[in-house]
Structure 1
Amino acid sequence: MLVGFVDTLLNRKESLLQALGQHLEISFWALLISVLIAVPLAIWVRKYKKIAAFFLQITGILQTIPSLALLGLLIPFVGIGKVPAVIALVVYALLPIFQNTYVGLTEIDPSVEEAADAMGMSLPRKLFRVELPIAMPVIISGIRTSMVMIIGTATLAALIGAGGLGSFILLGIDRNNTDLILIGAISAALLAIITSFLIDFLQKMAGKHALILLSCLAILVGGTSGYHAITQLNEKVVIAGKLGAEPEILINMYRDLIHVQDPRMSVELQPNFGKTSFLFNALKSNQINIYPEFTGTVLETLTHSKTTPSNPWQIYQLAKQQLATDNQMTYLKPMKYNNTYGIAVRTQFAKRYHLKTIGDLQSIQGKLKAGMSLEFMDRPDGLKAIKRQYHVNFPVKGMEPELRYRAIHEGKVNVIDCYSTDSELRQYHLTVLKDDKRVFPTYQGAPLMKTSFAKRHPGVVHALNRLADHITEKQIQQMNYEVNIKKKSPASVAHHYLNQHHMLKGAPK
């Protein structure tokens, strides 16, 4: 186990450094903004107990808001990425800093205050020469608490495309890779410990020296953020993918095909970017340029089409038309395979109860315990459609996609939802029940981009259209198996497929 962990760490060292930098950047700005808000506010209200009690209650209430709910509430207003992540972290960090600053200032010995007044000190001079130095240990304790909280909570930033160490944890959960989960968790814990020691070190330094060091840190982080912002002004193709091996394989194919078309084109990949809504919003706000989307998802989730044709080509044409009309987006030609939903059971379970179709579940409803992804449970073409069309009803637990496979393997559930191309179907010897009523629409993947981008980059469009009508279900399932089970890199698996099908002439090795 240790050898595998070390190998994964060495193979992912570049990604780890990038994630660490993102995590530090988000955490630093969140802490700095929190201090700039909470400390002056506590100084101002220290003489007004009722106002102070009000702000203590407000900051306490803000901290009870579930982090995922807060991120979801922020997305419609500020989009996705680092901005909502920093705002959410600031909200959580305010209480410890405000509370400790207020307590530290209000519990100063009155005789000390009287002595400062007797010496004729002005209010600002008394604050900076007497009150703040005395209260500083308590204030620093609050800052330390907030910093540790920020670093831990910042792992959720990966859910909204802000990067950070949480990307390792999410990827590990998605791929059932304990090493990736440990790398993300241990790195976040070590970062919290190191920053806690750094805050202690700053507290022991002379005020002038501590200020100089903090200024240098601010310049360093600010300069890094500014550099990234400036470099992003130079147009490059940013390709993102949803969570999982399959989207990462596809976006690596996109990059290779674009480099074949134009080796000088700058391409940045952002794998495991998040859920469908995050990617679609990122595309609309120009945070990304391309991502692979599925025809059924377009009609059911993005355009909320009232009618869904039964013919796969008609589904694609309707999705393409609605995206162009409603969102000014271009939907390129789809690949061959259909990554639709499915209902899976263990093969032994299917044999025992003679299960071949989803409708067969009706006769054993009392024996069913299901584990399904939250997205499938909520989608109109998911669990709701199954219950409506097949007249089956059984208890369902919501869980992360990869966890439901572990649950059925360990016997905690006996029915799960799946994608028809999942490698875990082969890994855990599962049988996909036939959708004889054709409840699940066709899901063919294709590159999605803004029409304005497509017009500026006809070469990119031409390159990505080379995947049209390629890749069968068997081929993509095998590629997923190689990444998830054999632990091959998505880049190498994607490169091998394109090379095998003669699409990489002139591509960089």
Structure 2
Amino acid sequence: MQNLWETFLTRRGDLLAALGEHIQLSLIALLLALLIAVPLGIWAQNHPRFAGALLQVTGVLQTIPSLALLGLLIPIVGIGTAPAIIALVVYALLPIFQNTYTGLHEIDPAYTEAADAFGMSKPLKLVKVQLPLAMPVIIGGIRTATVLIIGTATLAALVGGGGLGTFILLGINRNDTTLTLLGAIAAALLALVFSWFIARLQKWPWRVSVGVLAALALAFGGTAVYQAIAPQPETIVVAGKLGSEPEILINMYKQLIEQADANVKVSLKPNFGQTSFLFNALKSKKIDVYPEFTGTVVTSLVKPTAKQNQAIANGADSYPIAEKLLNQQQLTMGKPMKYNNTYAVVVKQDFAKAHQITKLSQLNQFATPLKAGFDLEFNSRQDGYKGIQSLYGLTFNVKTLDASLRYQALDGGQVQVTDGYSTDSQIRQYHLLALKDDKQLFPVYRGAPLMRQDFAKAHPQVVKALNQLANRITEPEMQEMNYQVNVKGQSAAKVAKAYLKAHGLLKEAR
């Protein structure tokens, strides 16, 4: 509890900002869901033939996995709040529509007959009789949708939408339970407060209740709209994958770019979950730059020829090949850094010592397949588990884990083998061993800024600023920086700044 309180005091400003983002996302999504689902429920009550079909459609929409939905939305609407709000609306439709339809459908016919006897028109009967009687059931659906929205909104952080999910992701990635608890507790308390508030609305006239909800949503939505249309300096969006290393790199990018051009503002979007999210966002001009690795480009993002693949397998530098193939997609990479952040298959040091293992090929000595915890991307890649199966002839009992959890699973004994990167701080932190890739499955992974060609041509000062990192940062330096963030708890921005200053890349402010 002491650590949690200290973390709260240290991070209260960031927590308050994330809370505001979370409330904004939730209220906008709730208002949009109300505007869609309530009229739809009223219409369905008068068209019972379509009610069943609409219930099925809204039910199916709610079963779509959230990550899959976000991945499908990014190429269409980009990153940030837009895909998050759309996803939240989709998940909120079912409870609001279902309860609106049910509440109206189950009204005692005697009331509607009395309304007809008084000569009320359909709109008047709806406003004066049906909606007031159905309101407790409708409010119940709104309460359910609100709690669902607030919980699901934590995933907005995966697509740069902000909110309390940033604390949860950061805590998981850095194995910092206090950060995870801060985000989770704040989200849970927010859901309870909103649920209590909406329950109180049941005691108010229904038009007042709807008006209050609409006013709150419009207030937060209006702020978001104003921020979107208000004149702003040119903003360059720099994004990064999940983890301390990408976050350190994008903070270096930000500091170098803003030093090179004082008229440019850099917006950072850290902690994206998947390479495909970022790559699609880059091509659709939703982001401008993100750090990528040459090995990832040639194995996942482009299609090298058989001759090029053979050259890479023989140890050729993958950067020229990656750059040539990216150019065909109107993309380009800046000059790569020095270190090789290649994949590694990792085991505990005591396990390796007990079985006299130093090389990946030596894992074939076990009669029973070892338990392996691989992240989804490594598990499906040719330069990952698929390549291990074909080149090394090894088969593991694989459990797919989130990338941020695999080292914890290895340290806790749930798995015996996992994937990692050569610069991961957890190798030092948990006393692990990265096995030698003695058959050279993993290509060279040198990091470089990936951007569109049109962006690079329009911003030569940005390219020049980022190329200052060319052939800099060694593997020990990168591992140490990761260690400072993940284990010592320093901010990625502070660690990035310290490196740039130490190497004369960042001038002192006057």
RMSD: 2.0
The answer to which of 306-315 and 185-194 deviates more is: 306-315
Task: Map 1:98-497; keep pairs closer than 5 Å.
Answer: 98-207=97-206, 209-210=208-209, 212-231=211-230, 234-306=233-305, 307-308=308-309, 309-310=311-312, 314-326=317-329, 328-366=330-368, 368-497=370-499
SS of residue paired to 1:342 = strand
The residue type paired with residue 168 of structure 2 is I
Change (3 A) 1:30 1:219: closer
The answer to which of 116-125 and 270-279 deviates more is: 270-279
> Deviation digits for residues 403-456 of structure 1, max 9, x if unmatched?
221111122211111100000001111111111111000000011122222222
The residue type paired with residue 158 of structure 2 is L
TM-score (norm 1): 0.94
Answer yes or no: is 1:41 the counterpart of 2:40: yes
The answer to which of 305-314 and 493-502 deviates more is: 305-314
The CA distance in 1 between the partners of 2:460 and 2:211, in whole Å, is: 51
Contact 2:139–2:198 under 8 Å retained in 1 = yes
SS of residue paired to 1:504 = coil
The CA distance in 2 between the partners of 1:286 and 1:394, in whole Å, is: 40
**Number of the residue aligned with 1:11:** 10
The CA distance in 1 between the partners of 2:417 and 2:210, in whole Å, is: 59
The CA distance in 2 between the partners of 1:317 and 1:502, in whole Å, is: 28
Contact 1:21–1:164 under 8 Å retained in 2 = yes
The residue type paired with residue 85 of structure 1 is A
**Number of the residue aligned with 1:97:** 96
The residue type paired with residue 123 of structure 1 is K
Change (3 A) 1:108 1:265: same
- How many Å apart are 1:313 and its aligned residue? 7.0
The CA distance in 2 between the partners of 1:14 and 1:277, in whole Å, is: 32
The residue type paired with residue 299 of structure 2 is E
- How many Å apart are 1:212 and its aligned residue? 4.7
The CA distance in 2 between the partners of 1:247 and 1:388, in whole Å, is: 30
Change (3 A) 1:252 1:78: closer
Change (3 A) 1:390 1:38: same
The CA distance in 1 between the partners of 2:77 and 2:30, in whole Å, is: 19
Contact 1:365–1:394 under 8 Å retained in 2 = no
The CA distance in 2 between the partners of 1:210 and 1:393, in whole Å, is: 59
> Deviation digits for residues 450-481 of structure 1, max 9, x if unmatched?
22222222221111111110100001001101
Contact 2:233–2:263 under 8 Å retained in 1 = no
Contact 1:161–1:278 under 8 Å retained in 2 = no
Contact 2:92–2:148 under 8 Å retained in 1 = yes
Change (3 A) 1:422 1:73: same
Contact 2:233–2:264 under 8 Å retained in 1 = no
Contact 2:237–2:267 under 8 Å retained in 1 = yes
SS of residue paired to 1:192 = helix
The CA distance in 1 between the partners of 2:177 and 2:187, in whole Å, is: 15
Change (3 A) 1:67 1:286: same
Answer yes or no: is 1:32 the counterpart of 2:37: no
Contact 2:78–2:286 under 8 Å retained in 1 = no
The answer to which of 329-338 and 309-318 deviates more is: 309-318
Answer yes or no: is 1:50 the counterpart of 2:49: yes
Unaligned runs of 5+ residues in structure 1 are none
SS of residue paired to 1:33 = helix
The CA distance in 1 between the partners of 2:506 and 2:373, in whole Å, is: 41
The CA distance in 2 between the partners of 1:362 and 1:232, in whole Å, is: 62
Contact 2:75–2:281 under 8 Å retained in 1 = no
The CA distance in 1 between the partners of 2:260 and 2:404, in whole Å, is: 36
Matched pairs, number: 506
Change (3 A) 1:367 1:397: same
Contact 1:260–1:507 under 8 Å retained in 2 = no
- How many Å apart are 1:382 and its aligned residue? 0.5
Change (3 A) 1:239 1:124: same
SS of residue paired to 2:394 = coil
Contact 2:248–2:492 under 8 Å retained in 1 = yes
Contact 2:160–2:270 under 8 Å retained in 1 = no
- How many Å apart are 1:76 and its aligned residue? 4.4
Q: Following superposition, which runs of at least 4 residues in structure 1 exceed 6 angstroms of deviation?
A: none
SS of residue paired to 1:292 = strand
Contact 1:340–1:442 under 8 Å retained in 2 = yes
The CA distance in 1 between the partners of 2:211 and 2:250, in whole Å, is: 44
SS of residue paired to 1:12 = helix
Contact 2:26–2:146 under 8 Å retained in 1 = yes
Change (3 A) 1:445 1:498: same
**Number of the residue aligned with 1:503:** 505
- How many Å apart are 1:207 and its aligned residue? 4.8
TM-score (norm 2): 0.94
- How many Å apart are 1:209 and its aligned residue? 4.3
The answer to which of 8-17 and 128-137 deviates more is: 8-17
The CA distance in 1 between the partners of 2:423 and 2:175, in whole Å, is: 17
Contact 1:279–1:291 under 8 Å retained in 2 = yes
The answer to which of 234-243 and 180-189 deviates more is: 234-243
> Deviation digits for residues 58-86 of structure 1, max 9, x if unmatched?
22233233323333344444444333322
The CA distance in 2 between the partners of 1:332 and 1:191, in whole Å, is: 43
The answer to which of 66-75 and 239-248 deviates more is: 66-75
